[in-house]
Amino acid sequence: MKKFFLSFFVLALALAATNSVQAQTATETANGVNVETDIALLRRDLRADKKKLIALNLPLTETEATKFWPVYDQYAADMTKHNDEFYLLIKDYTQKQKTITDAEATAMIAKWADLQVRTAQTKQKYLPLVEKVLSGRKTALFFQIDRRLYALMDLQTSMQLPLMIQEK
């Protein structure tokens, strides 16, 4: 399991680093349109692979799997809502990055912070629900795997976004 995650993480980092330079250039020439496309593709690919990665790294009995996956599917649906909001925030940023005002920048970062809080609240909501269907150790393992996958997605998204343009 450690080798699998390490390999996946190294590959993802290499792809993110490679795409970062391309995204920065594309943003400068196309006002963020390619950044949006890149992030949309990343989201689609990672969503498709996330459940597979969890299944590969979370050993479940048939009984546990029958109880866990419906809870996971609802959790994933709730988290997708937060991720969709985050994507819209990124899309707004990429469209305005060259003309953004101080007030708009402050509002965006406040929305991002609020979104982080609501995401954490969703995870807290599902902790006891997962504990009802899995042992404590397997619950902890699930949330560890989940956190690593979200950290990877956050890193890939961050690598695609150009930094805020400084005042001249």
Structure-block tokens of residue 64: 């546990």
Residue 166 in domain = no
**Number of Cβ atoms within 10 Å of the Cβ of 73:** 11
- How far is Cα 160 from Cα 146, in angstroms, rounded to an integer? 21
For the stretch 51-83, pLDDT in tens is: 889 999 999 999 999 999 999 999 999 999 998
For the stretch 143-161, pLDDT in tens is: 999 999 988 888 887 777 7
Residue 102 in domain = yes
Residue 107 in domain = yes
Please state the pTM of the whole predicted model: 0.72
Residue 101 in domain = yes
Residue 67 in domain = yes
Q: How many domains does the chain have?
A: 1
Residue 120 in domain = yes
Residue 79 in domain = yes
Structural domain range at position 85: 2-160
